[in-house]
Amino acid sequence: MAKKTTPRKPRRTLKAATASKRRPLRHVTRALVAFAGAIVLSVGVYSVLPPPTTPYILSEGVRLGGIRRDWVSADTIAPEALQAVVAAEDANFCLHWGFDMAQLRAAIQEGADRGASTLTQQTVKNVWLWQGRSWPRKALEALMTPVVEAMWSKRRIVEVYINVAEFDEGIFGIEAAAQHHFGVRAADLTLRQASLLAAVLPNPKERQAVSPSSFVDRRARAIADGAATIRADGRARCFAR
């Protein structure tokens, strides 16, 4: 009796099946490349132009029915304000390339209660990403931080950060914050006023720069001392005029 043989699939059918399996992967790869290209392009554009808005500013604008924000260049911000924000958020800003490995190791040793995000990482999060802790956001932040460090000057990073940071509910950027809290322009902030504004970060909805709590007052005094220290020891040089 003749042995039955299973008919072979035509070669074209096998090729088509293989191609159909590869097609989704190809689409994903193209999407990732397009996303990466868009990010690099926006980093380049924002190196010279102000970010028009951010995901968080947009969401708060919808929630509150509007926000207040006035972009100002670093040249028209009191140097004390730049120094206070760096002293409060990332005193070693001039010494690292986007990641402070010493602070990161300390955070790992001390647990989740200690933060280790640099000013550059916070800028990336505030400009492009979303709030809240999640591994996807941290992964994107880690990928984008070196790109920003490579394409922006340190002064530009501080300038963008201080213009998109939230200093009270619906109050974004140092100019709006200076006018809202103290009735002055960002160019006229004193070290004490700048330190009080920096002291509300990163919880502006729970801390007040005007009529500060004892905690905010102590933190502001420590920030003022830190600003003087980084100015004296050269750690403010990379973003100074």
Reported as a single tens digit per residue, the pLDDT across 139-195 is 999 999 999 999 999 999 999 999 999 999 999 999 999 999 999 999 999 999 999
Predicted pLDDT of residue 132 = 81
Instruction: Classify strands 171-172 and 68-69 as parallel, antiparallel or unpaired.
Output: parallel
Q: How far, CA to CA in Å, does 133 sit from each of 122, 157, 159?
A: 12, 22, 24
Are the C-beta atoms of 84 and 191 separated by less than 8 Å? yes
Amino acid identity for residue 163 in this structure: N
Predicted pLDDT of residue 25 = 75
Question: Which of the residues in the chain have pLDDT under 70?
Answer: 1-21, 103-104, 106-115
Predicted pLDDT of residue 100 = 83
Predicted pLDDT of residue 21 = 63
Helix pair angle (174-182, 79-89), 10° resolution: 100
Task: 48-54: list long-range contacts, CB under 8 Å, 24+ apart.
Answer: 50/160, 50/163, 51/127, 51/160, 51/164, 54/126, 54/127, 54/128, 54/164
CB-neighbour burial class of residue 194 (10 A; exposed 0-12, middle 13-18, buried 19+): buried
Strand partners, 172: 69, 166
Helix pair angle (79-89, 154-164), 10° resolution: 90
Q: What is the rounded CA–CA span in Å between residue 140 and residue 45?
A: 19
Query: Is the whole model's pTM more than 0.75, yes or no?
Result: yes
